[in-house]
Structure 1
Amino acid sequence: MAETAPPSPAAAWHAGIDIGGTKVAVCLARAAPAGGDPPELVQRLAAPTVRTGAVDALARQVLGLLEDACARQGVERGALAGVGVSSCGPFVRRGGAIEVANPNICGGLAGAAGPRALDNDWREVPLQAPLAEALGGVPLRIANDAVAALEAERRWGALAGIDDCAYVTWSTGVGVGLCVDGRVLGGKNGNAGHAGHSFVGDVPGPAPLCGCGNRGDVESLVGGGLLPARLGVRAPALLQAAGRGDAAALAQVRQLCCLMGRLLYNLVATLDLERISLGGAVFLHHQALLLPLLREQVQQYFPALTQGVQLVPAGLGPQVADYAALALLPKG
């Protein structure tokens, strides 16, 4: 994570920025109350994530959306109490500032042979430095999106009061935020929890290529953005067919849950977790189908480690991404 000076308690507005491989969203909210309720979302704007142009195109898109949101509410950008940024990763640091090296944004990571050939040669894009410069003295805090969602779920959602827990997003990619003994894990570059780029097993045929350059990692096997390349079908169509009882589609979904279930078990076995909150578009839009299959997978492994472990949907539901960015900021 990265942050600047603490916010002024007198200011009333916070901004949350969610940067994903598919879309960028900016929201404004009244500063979070001191109690247990989440902040009031007042304004939200979103656009498809830019993937072309100069390497600073993403930062300029974020600043444009933020300026537009502030203008619609009559808020001066410089008067914000703080700006939280929940961004897909991994992160790298250049001159101490966070840059984003995400395979769904940076075409240079896997190159022209990548599963989602992108019209850019970016290997990382600047984020912290251009935002901090544009925001002046406005406090800025940046964290990996799954870590930020973990913070939100612990403050307002399904992980409240749980010291040993994780948030897992199953969406365009696969991301994880981790908390052990009440401490959220960060890592040297803020990349703790990038289990989507770990390995859990093989599938028939050649190992699929992930946008990061790995072959056969979790994201390449189950990530929603790569399923068309691997299975020839988009995630919503496959999951809808499985939900209708299509035997072939259900068999494929069971295989996906077997792979994701191994990832979840590995987290439990490694960190001795009590509860995992699940979010992301792939999971949340089809949780009635996926949750029982994932629970079944995890519960079949070593009972001494898995007994009593809870897999639950994100308590903040589809809004977990918006609240994730806001959870990075102190209570108002």
Structure 2
Amino acid sequence: MNSPLPTAPPFAGPDIRLPAGAAPVACVDIGGTKVAVAVVDQRGILGRRVEPTAKEGASDALARQVLRMIEESSAAAQIRREDLAAVGVASCGPFVLNDGQVELAAPNICGGLAGAARGLPNHWTTALLEAPLREVFAQVRVENDGLAALKAERRWGALQGMAHCAYVTWSTGIGVGLCVDGQMLRGKNGNAGHAGHMFVSDNNDALCGCGNIGDVEALVAGNAMPRRFGALGYADAASILIAARAGETGAVAIIDDICRVMGRALYNLVVTLDLQCISIGGAVFWHHHDYLLPRLQAHISGRLPALTDGFVLVPAGLQDRVGDYAALALVV
């Protein structure tokens, strides 16, 4: 009887521990689909909790969810909430500043942006975030999740040593963090990098949660694909990719078109910012990165060589754990 082939262990990510005696911190990753919370002390990352993102009730429902999850994560790690020195929050955006504090105008969370046609169960135009956290914690840092992930990838992942680079997440939405000349770009409200809302196609059949019709996120994001192609029998992005990998003609055509849109968006980033490397992660990409990576690279390589020669597109060095380390990078 043949022995089963060995399998690689799950990627654990870098082992982050605070120095002995350092006060613990909390890390919060907010996406359009889920919220993940953990605390970190000299023992490492502890008490991780994951829940679907709150999208019902009052506009502070998400902030209240985060506060509760921090409490639960701290209890699981046997850490008093009062002993947490800081809270780092990596969140999908865009951000709106209200009295200098971040509220989320996030297309995949706030149903009031695109209206009832988008199908979100609320009428929020913003979701409160920073102000309720500051009522409890003295030190709170909120950043765009693309920027926070870029910081993590530059510190621990595939972008170490890179001065001209970007991180792109292809997940529920499309997020980007940008770095030029060693400086990470934030913008006037911390929204630099919202390239998912660029127009790179004349397609106008897809409504984005931001209200745009036919932007990148509306066409290729993880929650956009079932809305566009569900009538063809594809329940989610994964089902289209699995069918394409199996050679199903219709699915291959869909993925070719999806990669053309996403590839053009990546090309625009490269030539606009003169980048040397983009690291790409997120649930849609990561689980099929071997299939998608060369198709995306094909829309960049060979075009305007003065700007694209020497550029490389790589999978996220932190693999499917980028989100976990993004918020951590803000507070350690």
TM-score by length of 1: 0.91
Q: Which residue of 2 aligns with 1:214?
A: 212
In 1: Cα distance, 2:198 partner to 2:141 partner: 27
State how 1:1-332 maps to structure 2 within 5 Å.
10-30=21-41, 40-114=44-118, 117-135=119-137, 137=138, 139-203=139-203, 206-232=204-230, 233=234, 234-330=236-332
Q: Is the 8 A contact 1:99 1:125 kept in 2?
A: yes
Alpha-carbon shift at residue 83 of structure 1 (Å): 1.3
Which gives a bigger RCO, structure 1 or 2 (Cα 8 Å, sep 6+)?
Answer: 1
Alpha-carbon shift at residue 219 of structure 1 (Å): 0.3
Amino acid at match of 1:273: L
- 1:150-207: CA deviation from partner (whole Å, max 9, x where unpaired): 000000000010000000000011010000000000001000000001111123xx43
Structure 1 residue matching 2:135: 3-state secondary structure:
helix
Q: Is the 8 A contact 1:22 1:172 kept in 2?
A: yes
Structure 1 residue matching 2:49: 3-state secondary structure:
strand
In 1: Cα distance, 2:245 partner to 2:87 partner: 40
Alpha-carbon shift at residue 41 of structure 1 (Å): 2.0
In 2: Cα distance, 1:217 partner to 1:259 partner: 9
Q: Which residue of 2 aligns with 1:34?
A: none
Alpha-carbon shift at residue 75 of structure 1 (Å): 0.6
In 2: Cα distance, 1:300 partner to 1:108 partner: 42
In 2: Cα distance, 1:44 partner to 1:85 partner: 14
Q: Structure 1: any 5+ residue segments left out of the alignment? A: 1-6, 32-38
In 1: Cα distance, 2:312 partner to 2:292 partner: 14
Alpha-carbon shift at residue 8 of structure 1 (Å): 11
Amino acid at match of 1:329: V
Amino acid at match of 2:116: A
In 2: Cα distance, 1:297 partner to 1:8 partner: 45
Q: Is the 8 A contact 1:11 1:79 kept in 2?
A: no
Structure 2 residue matching 1:297: 3-state secondary structure:
coil
Alpha-carbon shift at residue 286 of structure 1 (Å): 0.7
Q: Is the 8 A contact 1:15 1:28 kept in 2?
A: yes
In 1: Cα distance, 2:23 partner to 2:73 partner: 15
Structure 1 residue matching 2:82: 3-state secondary structure:
helix
Q: Is the 8 A contact 2:95 2:105 kept in 1?
A: yes
Alpha-carbon shift at residue 131 of structure 1 (Å): 0.4
Q: Is the 8 A contact 2:22 2:41 kept in 1?
A: no
Q: Is the 8 A contact 1:98 1:129 kept in 2?
A: yes
Structure 1, 58-67 or 298-307: larger mean CA deviation: 298-307
Q: Is the 8 A contact 2:196 2:216 kept in 1?
A: yes
In 1: Cα distance, 2:75 partner to 2:167 partner: 34
Alpha-carbon shift at residue 10 of structure 1 (Å): 4.5
Alpha-carbon shift at residue 79 of structure 1 (Å): 0.9
Alpha-carbon shift at residue 12 of structure 1 (Å): 3.7
Over 3 Å off, 4+ runs = 7-10
In 1: Cα distance, 2:19 partner to 2:315 partner: 34
- 1:285-326: CA deviation from partner (whole Å, max 9, x where unpaired): 110110010111111421111111010011001111010000
- 1:102-153: CA deviation from partner (whole Å, max 9, x where unpaired): 0111000001122xx1111000011111001112x2x211100010000000
In 1: Cα distance, 2:220 partner to 2:121 partner: 24
In 1: Cα distance, 2:248 partner to 2:38 partner: 39
Q: Structure 2: any 5+ residue segments left out of the alignment? A: 1-17
Q: Which residue of 1 aligns with 2:7?
A: none
In 2: Cα distance, 1:40 partner to 1:274 partner: 33
In 1: Cα distance, 2:32 partner to 2:294 partner: 27
Percent pairwise identity: 57
In 1: Cα distance, 2:19 partner to 2:128 partner: 27
Structure 1, 62-71 or 299-308: larger mean CA deviation: 299-308
Amino acid at match of 2:93: G
Over 3 Å counting, the alpha-carbon distance change for 1:199 and 1:9 in structure 2 is farther
Amino acid at match of 2:222: G
- 1:255-300: CA deviation from partner (whole Å, max 9, x where unpaired): 1111100000000000000000001000001101100101111114
